[in-house]
Amino acid sequence: MLLKASQNGPQIACLLLFVLVSLCDGLQLGAFTTKTPRVTKYTTKPASSSSMNHDATTSIYRLNATNGITCILVSVDGLISIKYRNKLNEDVEADLYLPDDPKLTGECVESNMEILRLDFKGFALTMTFRKSSGGEGWYINQFELTYSSSNSLFEHPDRPNLDVKLTSPAHTPMYFPTPVGKSYVCDKEQSVVLYAPIDSGDMSGHIARLYLRDLHMQSFMFKESGKWGPPFHCSATGSYRDETAPLAVGTALAIAVLITISGYGGWRYFKIKKVQYGSME
């Protein structure tokens, strides 16, 4: 029995070390592996008469304050998909890509709120940025999309000549929270649902979904260089983290495994001593 325990001891220790290395590699590889193909509206939906032409590249939107310094900077490949009902009583979708050269307006006056508005082809997309209560972070508080239900994008809408106003849900008040001074970066496709609140009196019945791909943005910049701050990456699960997070988790895991190995070694040492003492008697 003593010999068998001695032979199995190194094997168990090696197995624990193998588990440690595998887990640490798993934590780090997520940030460095190549992108997996996306199966989304970008790759599965064929071109149609309801889809406006787009070359599927990212567009850059820069809003400067009155002093000429950049306050909001956004780079994104964006798509708006709007579901509506036509005169045949069918629910259909129309797609609209965010253009490269929309009319940009906004506000960068208040210290705790900034607004970026994109006007293009009869549509207006507005993003409202705010700072957290302590002023240490920024986020998008609301998305708003306005247009006419008679826009040429829609084929035979059942309810034409209506002014449509869709907004992001009020119960999701914080999109893409990021520390002030850093830029939000995410190559994982994000989506935001836009609809008319029940108490708005909207009669269009439209629902939109905003797809944001290869997103890089920053608000509350006020840097003369107008360049991005340090990146703050989203994780594969959609949560948010700094680059130091995988290292901290990996270190904690390594300590836990080392404690386990040390505990096993101590237990095995005293067990062998006990067996030897018993055999001497």
Mean pLDDT, contiguous 10-residue spans, the chain (281 residues): 47 49 43 39 44 65 92 97 96 97 93 96 98 94 97 96 94 91 95 90 93 97 86 67 42 52 58 52 51
**Direct distance between the N- and C-terminal alpha carbons of the chain, in angstroms, rounded to an integer:** 17
Per-residue pLDDT, 263: 60
41-242 domain in CATH 3.40.50.150? no
Could you state, in order of their start, the residue ranges of all structural domains in the chain? 2-31+246-280, 41-242
Per-residue pLDDT, 244: 38
Q: Answer whether 192's CB lies under 8 Å from 143's CB.
A: yes
Per-residue pLDDT, 141: 96
3-state secondary structure of 68: coil
Q: Would you state the structure tokens that stand for residue 158, as one six-digit string?
A: 């059942």
At 150, the amino acid letter reads: S
Q: Is the pTM of this model over 0.85?
A: no
